[in-house]
């Protein structure tokens, strides 16, 4: 099982709701689970790990892949904290160029909002990924949702950036964001790495995400042949989690 985080397990940059966290913890005790998202590991700590009850079988069933799978974390039995297993960093020169081109292009397209509308970092250099967030990382959820409800602004920016930075992977991320990673190192890379780690064929993996459209950062997983379950938001994901637990436990909705 693999899940996106923002707008799939939780509202954008917000804590995973308790009901979702409980169901996800229960699922990791039954089947290996990967959470893969464009956010940093620090965001994973705040949004996911701080809310997640310790699974009955320990943390071995949970695999964390922040920054679109360019980093991979595990927590061994008895370990006090999560350890970095793998990282695919962009070299500093390419990151600096990406930051410059993102700002230049956003300004040209009229997508560079005035400072008084921005809360938190607008462009983040995450080492293995550069992320543009039009209203800043800490903007209110309602403001983010209102900024680009149909995705047209992010799609426009992503298309222009892909033309100007052909050596990078450019994908629409959260409700106001665009993610840039090394070409070929995306969520497909991460989910493939997860499948190898647990000894599964990628076609056996069920991926749940909200951005499976062609420019979305979940879309690359489809080339692996995974079973994909698109969701509209975290509310729908709760239903998916309940269905999965019922199926894996051999129960029916009436007996769950």
Helix (H, G, I), strand (E, B) or coil at 143: helix
The CA-to-CA distance between both ends of the chain, in Å, stands at: 20
**Is 179 labelled a binding residue?**
yes
Calculate Rg over the CA atoms of the chain: 18
**Is 150 labelled a binding residue?**
no
Question: In whole angstroms, what is the distance from residue 54 CA to residue 109 CA?
Answer: 46
**Is 177 labelled a binding residue?**
yes
**Is 126 labelled a binding residue?**
yes
CA 70 to centroid of chain Cα atoms: 11
Instruction: Tell me, yes or no, if 201 is annotated catalytic.
Output: no
Instruction: Tell me, yes or no, if 4 is annotated catalytic.
Output: yes
4, 7, 186, 218: which one is catalytic? 4
Backbone φ and ψ of 184, nearest 5°: 85, -10
Strand ranges in the chain using DSSP code E only, listed in sequence order: 2-3, 33-36, 62-65, 71-74, 83-87, 123-125, 129-133, 168-172, 177-182, 206-209, 227-230
Task: Report the b/e string of 155-181 with b at 16+ CB within 10 A.
Answer: bbbbebbbeebeebbbbbbbbbbbbbb
How many angstroms separate the most distant Cα atoms in the chain?
A: 57
Annotated binding-site residues read 4, 6, 126, 177, 179, 210
Catalytic residues: 4, 6
Annotated binding residues for alpha-D-mannose 1-phosphate: 126, 177, 179
Residue numbering of the annotated binding site for Mg(2+): 4, 6, 210
């Amino acid at each position: 099982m693999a899940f996106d985080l923002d707008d799939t397990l939780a509202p954008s940059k917000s804590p995973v709701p308790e009901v979702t966290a409980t169901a996800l913890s229960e699922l990791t005790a039954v089947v290996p689970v990967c959470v893969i998202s464009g956010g940093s590991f620090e965001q994973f700590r705040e949004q996911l790990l701080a809310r997640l009850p310790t699974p009955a079988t320990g943390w071995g069933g949970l695999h964390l892949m922040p920054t679109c799978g360019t980093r991979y974390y595990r927590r061994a039995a008895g370990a006090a904290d999560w350890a970095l297993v793998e990282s695919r960093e962009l070299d500093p020169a390419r990151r600096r160029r990406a930051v410059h081109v993102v700002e230049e292009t956003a300004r040209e397209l009229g997508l560079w909002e005035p400072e008084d509308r921005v809360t938190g970092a607008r462009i983040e250099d995450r080492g293995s990924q550069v992320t543009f967030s039009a209203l800043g990382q800490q903007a209110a959820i309602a403001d983010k949702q209102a900024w680009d409800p149909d995705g047209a602004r992010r799609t426009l920016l992503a298309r222009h950036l892909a033309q100007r930075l052909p050596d990078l992977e450019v994908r629409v991320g959260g409700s106001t964001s665009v993610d840039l990673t090394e070409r070929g190192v995306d969520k497909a890379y991460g989910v493939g790495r997860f499948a190898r780690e647990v000894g599964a064929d990628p076609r056996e993996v069920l991926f749940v995400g909200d951005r499976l459209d062609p420019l979305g950062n979940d879309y690359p997983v489809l080339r692996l042949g995974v079973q994909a379950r698109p969701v509209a938001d975290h509310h729908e994901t709760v239903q998916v989690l309940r269905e999965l637990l019922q199926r894996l436990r051999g129960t029916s909705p009436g007996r769950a």
